A = this chain, B = another copy of it.
Amino acid sequence: MYRTNTCGELRLADAGKQVILCGWLQKSRDLGGMTFIDLRDRYGLTQLAFNMEINAEICEKARKLGREYVLQITGLVKERENKNLQMPTGEIEISVTELIVLNEAKTPPFTIEDHTDGGDDLRMKYRYLDLRRSPVRNNILLRHKMAQQTRSYLDAQHFTEVETPVLIKSTPEGARDFVVPSRMNPGQFYALPQSPQTFKQLLMVAGLDRYYQIVKCFRDEDLRADRQPEFTQIDCEMSFVEQEDVLNMFEGLVKHLFLSVKGISIDAVPRMTYANAMEYYGSDKPDTRFDMRFVALNKPENNLVSGKGFKVFDEAELVVAICAKACANYTRKQLDELTDFVKRPQIGASGLVYARVNEDGTVKSSVDKFYDEVSLKKWAEACGAASNDLILILAGNAQKTRKAMNELRLEMGTRLGLRDKDNYACLWVLDFPLLEYSEEENRYFAMHHPFTAPKPEDISLLQSGQMGSVRANAYDLVINGVEVGGGSVRIFNKELQAQMFEVLGFTPEEAQNQFGFLMNAFEFGAPPHAGIAFGFDRLCSLFGGAESIRDFIAFPKNNSGRDVMIDGPSAIDEKQLTELHIALKK
């Protein structure tokens, strides 16, 4: 062993001990008579002291060392004169008697400090140096702890970890697969799994009863900040359970993670139907850290806006308001900013109507030309707006307006400081639609995946062709407006599964060709089963209080799917292509 202790463990009680430490030179201060070095390893920092009077030779040597040199030192633990109580080792220093340079280091291209001067690209290229910085290292350690605690909970609940294959078969349904040409099977390709969905269902048919896996999955899609071509899921499946059992089991997991990793006790997770989430928040993943619910002003049974000559509202499918508490004093400039915000192409509203509730209870709006005080007071009442509140209103096509209002609500939440990253609001969203219609392809798609079970009471709708109204026993777990997990009760009956494939536009031959092994398996005694999968990268970033998942992946890829550190992907040679029975297309 090169060392007796780490750089994070020595305390005042160790004073007088002879120790050997190893680590990287974080910082060096030359005060003439004394030289101090902060030595860093994964566990912490320890101050090394070199005294010109005691040992001039070693002190001279220490003065010449550069940042990030790898050192091994022998010395005596001493109580410090100037204690630094911010540092766990801040009461001691090492009086160094022996100094060995284990490795030199070129000056790093950016500073290895919590707040570095390195830009994103540079830090990605030298990821191994970026990982030396404690915020990045702490993310990786957090991820480890999250995985540990996930396993600890699921192991205790008798889940069995099973590794499913990575080299599988391509299925056209869903996102684009990464494929792997097979050398031994000319002209054929493996696919990398987008999820172990079919395998985990087969494990239920196999009687494994409770399965989990923390597993890499792959999607060849265009990338964004929070999407990576390879990502990790906590993948789970259970037999002989109903939706309620799955919700309880994984609510338990989330509570366990919050408590064991962050020391936070979470109450029972509230539940909301998809329909209500869309109505109240215009989103199937609402951020419920703050309320600010949507209020429709043009409900058929209580229309507060129509018939007053304001065409925009009269012709709108939906007129919807939110109430921003204590914002009546927003300036013209602030309101213009909000108008500009909702008119951005990605938000897509054509304008913003507002109404302020004054101190004295009177209401003043941007559409006073059309609406009198009585009408405006009714708006305020419907929105629960009191003195000094600001009502913001969007109107137009229902779906687009809800989407735009969702964005505006989040923007207001941010502006009002209602989205504190250290405050966590969890929510189950239930009863998702089973199918989504694609105008483009002129057919229904499975919203979750083709194995999701319709709600028993809605199966008749499926049979009578009211496809869009069929609800599924499908659920998402949303935390702070981020979808961290989703799952469903599965179809376990061969006939219903065949019917689903038919609805999705598969011919029986296509269904057999792609999912035959699963449908065949269902003939041999499939149990009722249900499952869920969590986006592990996203869950970690949420627990780490960050927006991007990249910082929680040791070696992430950029938006072109490249690893700039290893400079991959790369060309391969002709011989290899020939062996794989493929050629490049010019």
Contacts and interface: CB of A to CB of B under 8 A. Distances in A.
Interface of A: 1-3, 22, 24, 40-43, 68-70, 72, 102-106, 108, 126-129, 131-132, 137, 140-141, 143-144, 147-148, 151, 155, 160-170, 172, 176-185, 187-192, 198-199, 202-203, 205-209, 216, 218, 220, 222, 229-230, 232, 239-242, 244-245, 492-493, 516-517, 521-528, 553-555, 557, 560-563, 565-573, 576-585
B185 A562 contact: yes
Contacts of A165: 230, 555, 557, 563
Contacts of A108: 524
A129 B160 CA distance: 17
Contacts of A42: 207-209
Nearest to A537: B163
22 contacts: A2-B241, A42-B209, A70-B526, A70-B527, A103-B493, A103-B525, A105-B524, A106-B524, A128-B203, A131-B206, A151-B151, A178-B190, A179-B580, A180-B569, A184-B560, A184-B561, A185-B562, A188-B569, A188-B570, A188-B571, A199-B555, A202-B555
B572 A185 contact: no
A182 B148 contact: no
B104 A525 contact: yes
A132 B180 contact: no
A177 to B, nearest CB: 8
A166 B524 contact: no
A215 to B, nearest CB: 9
Contacts of A492: 103
Contacts of A555: 164-165, 199, 202
Q: Which 10 residue pairs of A and B lie closest in terms of their CB atoms, listed nearest first?
A: A169-B568, A105-B525, A131-B206, A2-B240, A188-B569, A42-B209, A68-B525, A182-B569, A128-B206, A22-B240
Contacts of A105: 523-525
Main secondary structure of the interface of A (DSSP, over half): loop
Contacts of A218: 166-167
A166 B585 contact: no
Contacts of A585: 577-578, 581-583
B207 A40 contact: yes
A526 B103 contact: yes
Contact of A167 (B127, B568, B579): B568
A568 B132 CA distance: 42
A566 B524 contact: no
A202 B525 contact: no
B527 A102 contact: yes
B572 A70 contact: no
Nearest to A562: B185
Contacts of A102: 527-528
A574 to B, nearest CB: 11
Contacts of A106: 523-524
B41 A131 contact: no
* Residue of A137, A493, A582 ringed by the most chain B CB atoms within 10 A: A582
A339 to B, nearest CB: 37
B24 A525 contact: yes
A521 B164 contact: no
Nearest to A1: B245
A128 B180 contact: no
B525 A168 contact: no
Nearest to A21: B240
A323 to B, nearest CB: 42
Contacts of A527: 22, 70, 102-103
A216 B163 contact: yes
Given A1-B245, A103-B526, A179-B576, A131 B203 contact: yes
Contacts of A162: 140, 143-144, 554
Contact of A569 (B144, B189, B230, B571): B189
A94 to B, nearest CB: 16
A128 B209 contact: no
Contacts of A43: 209
A9 to B, nearest CB: 11
A333 B141 CA distance: 65
A28 to B, nearest CB: 14
* Residue of A155, A192, A208, A522 ringed by the most chain B CB atoms within 10 A: A208
B571 A187 contact: yes
A235 to B, nearest CB: 13
Given A131-B207, A189-B569, A240 B181 contact: no
Nearest to A140: B162
A348 to B, nearest CB: 28
Contact of A230 (B166, B199, B524, B553): B166
B144 A161 contact: yes
B164 A554 contact: yes
Contacts of A198: 566
A160 B180 contact: no
A239 B240 CA distance: 47
A579 B222 CA distance: 13
